[in-house]
Amino acid sequence: MSILEKFNQGKPKSLNIIIVGTGKVGSTLAGKLTDEGCDVTVIDQNREVVDKLSDMYDIMGVVGNGSSYKTLIEAGIENADLIIAVTESDELNLLCCALAKKVGDCASVARVRNPDYGDELGYLSDKLGISIIINPELEAANEITRLLHFPSAISVNSFSKGSVEIIKFKIPEGNPLDGMVLSDLQKDKSAGVLICAVERGEELTIPNGSFRLQSGDIASFVATPTAALAFFKKMKMDVHKVTSVIIVGGGKTSYYLARQLVKSGMSVKIIESNPKRCEELSMLLPEEVIIVNGDGTDESLLTQENLERAGAFIPLTGIDEENVILSLYAMKASPGIKSITKVNHINFSSVINELALGSVVYPRRMTAEKIIKYVRAKRNSLENNDIETLYHLSQDRVEAIEFNIHEGLRHINIPLKDMRLKKNLLIACIYRDGKAFIPGGGDIFAPGDAVIIVTTHKGLSTIEDIFE
């Protein structure tokens, strides 16, 4: 009997998940998937880290090579529902998943970060039988690109293949929203937005029509990109598209980001301290991208490279502290600049949020959210997947979930006003036949719809979970 089988004796049935790799992402997933009610086993060759995670989350740990048949058997691969390979080696992750598919026939998730595989991910997934291949750096670049299209936004989360977004922003003093009651905002049907969450200090609210906004609130609203742009204009928020960007650090995220921004017509400059990496980037990226070999933490160099004239400043070094300090400096040296900070350690997000850094991107969180979405879907039925998209907002206190509506749902064709929904839950948007709209009490769910829910409840895995 394997370690996992012994551990699970007498316990109720839940998903058995093996995580190979106990780095930043693997450790984060171990905690989050345990919170999701899964039985987790971690594999790593570092005994100290395995023992630490085992004690911290009351999970099983196996010391060994995740691509070893013997190690996988010891971890219980024959009875596993899912294996997640997030070691530092793309090739090892792919091998782990391919071997697990042969030995245990379980679902698999692999982290693959090397740009060399960028155009081959679909092929690899198909040929190796891997359920999901995740590239955290590419996901981070995608989010940064969205943020640059909305300079006033703190965060932008995309739903329905980019047709709907939840955008977070801070209400400035003297803004038309300062003192406005939400019911007055919703009377203007042309606005096409719905405020779905408000943070005021430590307090978080899923607001109703009687809620009164005030300056300093951090509000999240759902809208189409077009409606969001019109809303920001109407509310006197900055909507000028960023045209020039300075990036500090020449890693994978910078590579993916520069490619996207150049295609959008932006001027891009990357400051990288390693001469060899500068040469690599100059060969990999379009010639429009300016590569500067220098220390991006040097004030005089930033001044020389016209920081004050840049529309956006994005520190993407591998050191969180450097990224934070650079963003604070840029916002002081160039008031009004759009600053986006990459942070890997999400344990200090509450402290970081108090620093007024502008927008903050967490690649680890994005990776975890994508995997948790898949886990919840698998817990129900991979053939009839309810969850399309999942995001954690407001320091994980709110979940925004996009559910698919299928035939057979008990609540189809029933007006929303007649549904008994859970408290602290809002039906924010319905996407139907290629169009998104903010629903009213008389609207219904129809087969083929995608429905976006915003709630403080955790762990919703099917649309049925939203009802009392």
The domains of the chain, with CATH numbers, are 3-134 (3.40.50.720), 155-234 (3.30.70.1450), 243-361 (3.40.50.720), 366-466 (3.30.70.1450)
Q: Are strands 338-342 and 267-272 parallel, antiparallel or unpaired?
A: unpaired
Whole-angstrom distance, CA of residue 420 vs CA of residue 466: 9
Model pLDDT, residue 347 = 62
SS3 377: helix
Q: For residue 423, with 0-12 CB atoms within 10 Å meaning exposed, 13-18 middle and 19 or more buried, which class applies?
A: exposed
pLDDT given for residue 279 in this prediction: 97
Q: Is residue 301 a contact partner of residue 307, using CB atoms and an 8 Å limit? A: no
- Check residue 338 and give its pLDDT: 94
**Separation CA 419–CA 186 (nearest Å):** 21
Q: What is the pLDDT of residues 246-262, one digit of tens each?
A: 999 999 999 999 999 99
Query: Lowest-confidence range among 277-281, 285-289, 342-346?
Result: 342-346
Q: Is 248 helix (H, G, I), strand (E, B) or coil?
A: strand
Per-residue pLDDT of 407-450, as tens digits, reads: 888 889 999 999 999 999 999 999 999 999 999 999 999 999 99
Q: Which residues pair with 445 in a beta bridge?
A: 412
Task: Give the per-residue pLDDT at 383.
Answer: 42
Q: Please state, rounded to an integer, the average pLDDT across all residues of the chain.
A: 90
- The tokens 């551990």 sit on which residue? 7
Query: What residue has token string 């290629």?
Result: 434
Alpha carbon 346 to chain centroid distance?
Answer: 12
Q: Which two tokens stand for residue 74?
A: 């010891």
**What is the per-residue pLDDT across 351-397, written as a single tens digit (0 to 9) for each?**
776 777 889 999 888 888 888 888 887 776 544 557 888 888 887 89
Beta bridge partners of 429: 452
3-class SS of residue 433: coil
CA torsion, points 311, 316, 322, 323, in degrees to nearest 10?
50
Between 104 and 322, name the one with better pLDDT. Answer: 322
Is residue 201 pLDDT above 70, yes or no? yes
d(CA 120, CA 255): 17
Question: Range with the lowest mean pLDDT among 8-12, 63-67, 209-213, 278-282?
Answer: 8-12
The single residue listed with the structure tokens 């979970």 is: 465
Query: According to the model, what pLDDT value does residue 406 have?
Result: 87
Q: 206, 394 in Cβ contact below 8 A?
A: no
Query: What whole-number distance in Å separates Cα of residue 280 and Cα of residue 271?
Result: 13
Burial class (CB in 10 A: 0-12, 13-18, 19+), 119: exposed
CB 456, CB 204: distance < 8 Å: yes
Alpha-carbon distance 336 to 342, whole Å? 19
Instruction: Find the Cα–Cα–Cα–Cα dihedral 330, 335, 337, 340, rounded to 10°.
Output: 50
Residues in CB range of 425: below 8 A, 6 or more apart: 206, 453, 454, 455, 456, 457, 466
What percent of the chain has a predicted confidence (pLDDT) above 70? 94
Q: What distance lies between CA 215 and its chain's CA centroid? A: 27
Measure the CA angle with vertex 437, ends 410 and 361; round to 5°: 100
- Predicted local distance difference test score (pLDDT) of residue 12: 37
Q: Do the beta carbons of residue 456 and residue 423 sit within 8 Å?
A: no
Unique residue bearing structure tokens 């859970």: 422
Sign (positive or negative) of CA dihedral 25, 27, 29, 32: negative
Regarding predicted confidence, which is higher, 459 or 97? 97
Which pLDDT belongs to residue 381? 54
Are 284 and 310 contacting, i.e. CB atoms less than 8 angstroms apart?
Answer: no
Nearest CA to 379 out of 467, 447, 460 is that of: 460
